[in-house]
Amino acid sequence: MKKHSVRLYNKEDYHKWNEFVANAKNATFLFHREFMEYHQDRFQDFSLVVLDENEKIKALLPANRVEESVFSHQGLTYGGLVVSQKTKLPDFILLFQEVLKFLNQNQIQNLDIKILPLIYSNFLSDELEYLAFLCKAELTRKDTLSVIDLTANFKYSHGRKQEVLKAKALGFEIKEVNSFDAFWNEILIPNLNEKHQAKPVHSLTEITLLKEKFPKNIRQFNVYLENKIVAGTTIFETETVAHSQYISGKANAETNLSLDFLHHYLITNVFKGKKYFDFGISNENQGQNINKGLLFWKESFGARTLTQSFYRFDTKSYEKLNSVLL
């Protein structure tokens, strides 16, 4: 049996961590330390590094700790055990078992994981779904993502086609910009406050910082009418997916068309070479409900449903993996 050791991430691992993430089969720029640490004041980092007997990294777990529970990761959209392109199922099982064992030996009762949706993996990587079954992990939440497969023959609804045609005649102008100030201050913050009494997950300062760190991955597209901003979308771009992190526009009949115009442009021009366009979730109440109107709008572009699972592993369940491999 291969020998592995597990320990907490430390600052000396910074470059090796990022290099491993860049070449992993199931990771995106969200797992880069610069992205994880922009909100380090909010989370107690508990990221793990799995090493072989030669001190070579074999796996990583982006994570934070809250009392006797570890999460992968509360500050990220998804998480899980990050492995190399060469890692096959038997090795994945052993690596994950070592992580659970380490956590259990350090008085951690639970490991909560937001599974990385398959569209974000560079290679097929669904091992954690199988391990959740083996470990009898608790399914704590299920979200639905609205995704367009850009490689397939997707179609707009008749109504959405008509709205896009109307929008084209109104004289909207789309610009990709480096500054988030106008969108955040004039559109996003007022809308979230009015509709949900909420704020963006990222402050203006934070999204500006992240843009500086990841200029090719975080992109802002605004829509203007008579030189005034009326809508915008913040895109998080990975190798396989363009994801609308924020979508917002001024609330009136005319400028509502601006979001149709913008996303038609993004889907058919800017990101037509991607595999997927991810509108994100329409869920509320921890996945129990769906915003029907929002879902209808996304599906009218040809988006269809992909689910994301949230699991809670009892760390004692590492013992259940002892006899899996015959």
How far apart CA 138 and CA 141 sit, in angstroms, is 9
Hey, which bits of the chain come out as E strands?
A: 4-8, 44-45, 48-52, 57-61, 64-66, 69-72, 82-83, 110-114, 138-149, 173-177, 218-225, 228-237, 241-249, 276-281, 283-284, 289-290, 304-314
> Residues 138, 95: one domain?
yes
Residue 326 CB partners (closer than 8 Å, separation 6+): none
Say if 287 falls within a structural domain: no
pLDDT, residue 35, reads 96
- Residues 172, 212, single domain; the answer is yes
Q: Are 170 and 113 part of one and the same domain?
A: no
Strands 4-8 and 82-83: unpaired
**Taking the model in full, what pTM does it have?**
0.95
Q: What is the pLDDT of residue 180?
A: 98
CA-wise closest residue to 187 among 244, 245, 230: 230
In a domain, 179, yes or no: yes
What is the model's pLDDT at position 197?
A: 85
Beta carbons of 224 and 176 less than 8 angstroms apart: no
124 and 22 housed in the same domain? yes
Largest CA distance in the chain: 69
Residue 249 counted as domain residue = yes
pLDDT for res 81? 98
Residue 31, domain member (yes or no): yes
**Do 12 and 48 sit in the same domain of this protein?**
yes
Q: Residues 133, 166: one domain?
A: no
Parallel, antiparallel or unpaired: strands 276-281 and 241-249: parallel
Domain count for the chain: 2
Q: Is residue 145 within 8 Å of residue 295, measured between CB atoms?
A: no
For residue 62, what pLDDT is reported?
A: 98
In a domain, 147, yes or no: no
Looking at the fold, whether 170 and 257 belong to one and the same domain comes out as yes
pLDDT, residue 253, reads 62
Establish if 295 belongs to a structural domain: no
- Do both 31 and 158 map to the same domain? no
CATH code (residue 45): 3.40.630.30
| Same domain flag for 120 and 39 | yes
Is residue 303, in this structure, part of any structural domain at all?
no
Is there a domain that residue 282 lies in? no
Query: What's the CA gap between 123 and 101, in Å, rounded?
Result: 27
Supply the pLDDT for residue 255. Answer: 72
Q: Are 89 and 186 found together in one domain? A: no
Strands 48-52 vs 64-66: parallel, antiparallel or unpaired: unpaired
Q: Would you write out the chain's pLDDT as a tens digit for each of its 326 residues?
A: 568 999 999 999 999 999 999 999 999 999 999 999 988 888 999 999 999 999 999 999 999 999 999 999 999 999 999 999 999 999 999 999 999 999 999 999 999 999 999 999 999 999 999 999 999 999 999 999 999 999 999 999 999 999 999 999 999 999 999 999 999 999 999 999 988 888 999 999 999 999 999 999 999 999 999 999 999 999 999 999 999 999 999 877 677 899 999 999 999 999 999 999 999 999 999 999 999 999 999 999 999 999 999 999 999 999 999 999 99
Do 102 and 225 sit in the same domain of this protein? no
- Do 193 and 119 reside in the same domain of the chain? no
Measured between alpha carbons, how far is 296 from 290 in angstroms, rounded to an integer? 10
Which residues span the domain enclosing 313? 4-142+309-321
